[in-house]
Amino acid sequence: MNAKHTVLVTRRLPQAVEERLQRDYDARLNTRDELYSSAQILQLAAGADAIIPCHTEHLSAEIIASLPDSVRAICSFSVGYDHIDLAAARSRGIIVTNTPDVLSSATAEIAMLLMLGAARRAHEGARMLRTNTWADWSAIGQLGIEVTGKRLGIIGMGRVGQVMARRARGFDMQIHYYNRHRLSPEIEQGASYHADLNDLLPHCQFLSIHCPATPETHHLLNAERIARLPDDAVVVNTARGAVVDDDALIAALQSGKLFAAGLDVFNGEPDIDPRYRDLDNTFLLPHIGSATRETRDAMGFRALDNLDAIVAGQEPRDRLV
């Protein structure tokens, strides 16, 4: 009987995923769900055939260059891959995969929650009830912005962006989008395409960001682009924190240029810019876009499907390099 391939798993994964790992592999599990240092990753990877990291592990060029020769694959438990140096992996001949598709609906749900929560000042209302400071009903109190029938701009009309557009149509929103390529009419479904991001922004009473974090999208939403948005616009980000310039967004929220922001991702998370916490017009969540039981199981199974293909000498479904 052939020996099982050894897999380093850097974080605690859902029970069903870990059970499959232990059944099919010699799995080195992180039972305490601690954040491994770079030194720990290199130590624990000794003799491993593959690594299953999450977005919390930053596999830099230096770390990948130092991985043992036994490592053939990095099958990330994430759709984003900005935490992995793909060029370094390619130079080592290490296959890298991610887990697209399976978290699109869950992430779009959180984007809708953020949009509604920010527009309707849900954070302030919840705080009144929890601190027993709700004095009385008021005809002019707690006034938010209605979502129904408004214009929604989407940056990045990939899997999540397309689901977000479908959900928003349930609120009779008019969809505008910026994408690297125009979608086909059957996918576009009447949405207005803008080949230039700067042309999109003036139309966006609401703006939802769904593009990946890359060197090209770093601080994509900066002061100049925020200035192009209509006054009282609402910004939603479920992509990556690096896409937003914190100084510019916070300044626009403080000045009243923007009505509110709904954020699930941040620069430097979990050590977010503390100024966000001091703003009443922010609706903040701790990176839970994919945090449903169904989605996290599906992400783990997708990562394992990719790993199964690699060890069998087949092409994995979600190969990045």
CA distances from 86 to 16, 43, 93, 289 (A): 29, 21, 10, 24
Which runs of E-coded beta strand occur in the chain? 6-9, 26-28, 50-52, 73-75, 95-97, 151-155, 174-178, 192-194, 206-209, 233-237, 258-263, 282-284
Q: In 3-state terms, what secondary structure has residue 24?
A: helix
Cβ-contact 321, 90 below 8 angstroms: yes
Looking at every residue in the chain, the average pLDDT score rounds to: 97
Q: Which CATH number describes the domain made up of 104-284?
A: 3.40.50.720
- Identical fold between 6-102+293-311 and 104-284: yes
The answer to whether the Cα torsion of 311, 314, 319, 321 is positive or negative is: positive
Q: In 3-state terms, what secondary structure has residue 16?
A: helix
Tell me: the pLDDT tens digits for 153-174?
999 999 999 999 999 999 999 9
CATH pick for 6-102+293-311 out of 3.40.640.10, 3.40.50.720, 3.60.110.10, 3.30.450.20 = 3.40.50.720
Task: pLDDT band for 265, please (50, 70, 90 cuts).
Answer: very high
Q: In what order do the strands lie in the sheet with 50-52?
A: 26-28, 6-9, 50-52, 73-75, 95-97
Looking at the chain, the whole-number percentage of residues with pLDDT higher than 90 is 99
pLDDT at 61: 98
In the structure encoding, which two tokens stand for residue 63, read together?
């770390």
Taking the C-alpha atoms of residue 160 and residue 103, their distance in angstroms, rounded to an integer, is 8
pLDDT at 2: 63
Average pLDDT for 276-291: 98
- Which positions are catalytic? 240, 269, 287
pLDDT at 6: 98
In the structure encoding, which two tokens stand for residue 76, read together?
């990330």
Average pLDDT for 239-267: 98
pLDDT at 3: 87
Q: In 3-state terms, what secondary structure has residue 228?
A: helix
DSSP H or E segment with residue 226: helix 223-228
Looking at the chain, the whole-number percentage of residues with pLDDT higher than 70 is 99
Q: Is residue 202 over pLDDT 60?
A: yes
DSSP character string of 103-164:
THHHHHHHHHHHHHHHHTTHHHHHHHHHTT------TTSS-----TT-EEEEE--SHHHHHH
In the structure encoding, which two tokens stand for residue 99, read together?
């887990």
Task: pLDDT band for 1, please (50, 70, 90 cuts).
Answer: very low
Q: What angle do CA 80, 82, 86 make, to 5 degrees?
A: 110
Taking the C-alpha atoms of residue 141 and residue 138, their distance in angstroms, rounded to an integer, is 5
Tell me: the pLDDT tens digits for 75-101?
999 999 999 999 999 999 999 999 999
Give the contacts of 2 (CB within 8 A, at least 6 positions apart).
none
pTM, two decimals, is 0.95
Average pLDDT for 282-294: 98
Task: Give the residue extent of every domain in the chain.
Answer: 6-102+293-311, 104-284
